[in-house]
Structure 1
Amino acid sequence: MKIALFGYGKMGKMIEQIAENRGHEIVAKIDVDTVEVDFSNMDVAIDFSMPSAAFGNITQCFEHGVPVISGTTGWLQDFNKALARCEETGSAFIYASNFSLGVNIFFELNEYLAKMMRQLKQYNVDIEEIHHTQKLDSPSGTAITLAEGIIANTDYTGWKLDEAPKGEIPIIARRIADTPGTHTVNYESEVDTIAIVHTAHNRQGFALGAVIAAEWIVGKKGVFTMKDVLNLG
């Protein structure tokens, strides 16, 4: 499989290593100083670029019939436009706030727990996320996805960073050096606390999940999620 990397920072370099170890070829490395892009030799594109570049990268790939795996966060104001362009061009697209296989299992567990907790009004929920100090967005896209999973399955109506009014979910974001990512969902009452936690030990899980998604999407058309890749229903 011939893979183009949009964004060649730490994540791009890790994806390159894992992809090559799995027998794939990196045919392009597009970064901030890239002037021309040859789309003719790509089977799939993996986008971990900057938020300001993501929408342009993704839609250019669609125009040239290249399916896209995107893990860039911070550009989702244009997400629906990207989905529409994917459908119009007959291309294929997977966006995930986190491609880690373990995190996507965690997303499913989060929604299942939210359904069970819906009737237990004595519990208040909050989300805490901890990342390295170089992370640009706050809260993390993963924390937002967790909040959206709770909102879809309970009476909560939204989320807020730090403090939140009643009926909304507070997300506490902490930045600590050399921390790949820890996410905790807490349900707290006067008598006890129920918590689920996902802790990443390194970033390799994120890169591996993106490569597995790229392997899965080649030859398909449409908009998919990691639920489809992992056959989670």
Structure 2
Amino acid sequence: MKIKTKEMKIALLGYGKMGQVIERIALERGHEIVLKKDEHNTYEGLSNADVAIDFSIPTAAVSNISSCFNANVPVISGTTGWLEHFDEMVSLCKEKNGAFISSSNFSLGVNIFFELNEYLAKMMSKLDSYTVEMEEIHHTQKLDAPSGTAISLAKGVIENSSFTNWTLDNAKENEIHIEAKRIGTVPGTHTVKYNSAVDAIEIKHTAHNREGFALGAVIAAEWIIGKHGVFTMKDVLNLK
């Protein structure tokens, strides 16, 4: 997908494995990295950036995002596990007339999967003989469980059906059970499965590597330049 803009100066907030893949893809697309922020350095150089991409850790996300708004730098955040502060960050974005996209998953394929999940949920909502469950598998270094992507999938079902909640425990009536597994170096596999007494229907997305997440984040960064407000990947991919 090509949303390519002119060369951007990018601040990377979080320089782990994802940050390094984002750096490589950004450089391949002709952009410049002006800050690589981790726990060992400061935000010096942030004000020189056209956009920031945050793939840090849950405890650093709020500081990273608020620092961007205060520096008048648009921010793309793929960090999960901090969303109890999401409304606070949205308010700060509006107060500073900033630009913000937060997503549990920037992969272009996963965002198509989100749309497919919602469409299937609408169709299945008419059939009360089916229950729904989800499984997500990630690498052993992932800090949060269930994944932000699994939570987004569960919310997509809840908003389009009679299910009211998700749980990691045994599901009660109108609850969606999510099984979270941590195995080896798996970059991310998500399955949504509908079960009845006579059959089962499932949809599944399997990430082969981190490339898709990183490319989607860079495309979102290219898209947000010159805009103000709070957006989603639906806006970036024109899925609304």
Give the TM bin, normalised by the shorter chain: over 0.9
Structure 1 residue 178: Cα displacement:
1.8
Match of 1:63 among 50, 70, 74: 70
- Measured in 1, the distance between the counterparts of 2:109 and 2:221 equals 17
**Which residue matches 1:28?**
35
1:104 maps to a residue whose letter is: N
Structure 1 residue 36: Cα displacement:
4.4
Taking only the aligned residue pairs, the percentage that are identical comes to 67
1:17-166 → structure 2 map (5 Å cutoff): 17-166=24-173
Structure 1 residue 39: Cα displacement:
2.6
What is the SS of the residue equivalent to 2:34?
strand
What is the SS of the residue equivalent to 2:46?
coil
Greater displacement, 34-43 / 70-79: 34-43
What is the SS of the residue equivalent to 2:223?
helix
- Measured in 1, the distance between the counterparts of 2:41 and 2:207 equals 32
Q: How does the TM-score come out when normalised to structure 2?
A: 0.96
**Which residue matches 1:230?**
237
Which digits, 9 at most, give the CA deviation of each residue in 1:81-108, with x for residues without a partner?
0001000100000000000000000000
- Measured in 2, the distance between the counterparts of 1:170 and 1:132 equals 20
Which digits, 9 at most, give the CA deviation of each residue in 1:153-174, with x for residues without a partner?
0011110014221111000011
- Measured in 2, the distance between the counterparts of 1:163 and 1:69 equals 35
- Measured in 1, the distance between the counterparts of 2:47 and 2:213 equals 27
1:172 maps to a residue whose letter is: E
Q: How does the TM-score come out when normalised to structure 1?
A: 0.99
Which digits, 9 at most, give the CA deviation of each residue in 1:144-191, with x for residues without a partner?
000000000001111001422111100001111021111000000000
What is the SS of the residue equivalent to 1:40?
helix
For structure 2, the 5+ residue unaligned runs are: 1-7
For structure 1, the 5+ residue unaligned runs are: none
- Measured in 2, the distance between the counterparts of 1:35 and 1:46 equals 15
**Which residue matches 1:184?**
191
Which digits, 9 at most, give the CA deviation of each residue in 1:200-231, with x for residues without a partner?
01110000000000000010000000000000
Aligned residues: 233
- Measured in 2, the distance between the counterparts of 1:178 and 1:63 equals 36
- Measured in 1, the distance between the counterparts of 2:70 and 2:96 equals 6
Q: Does 1:220 align with 2:227?
A: yes
Structure 1 residue 129: Cα displacement:
0.4
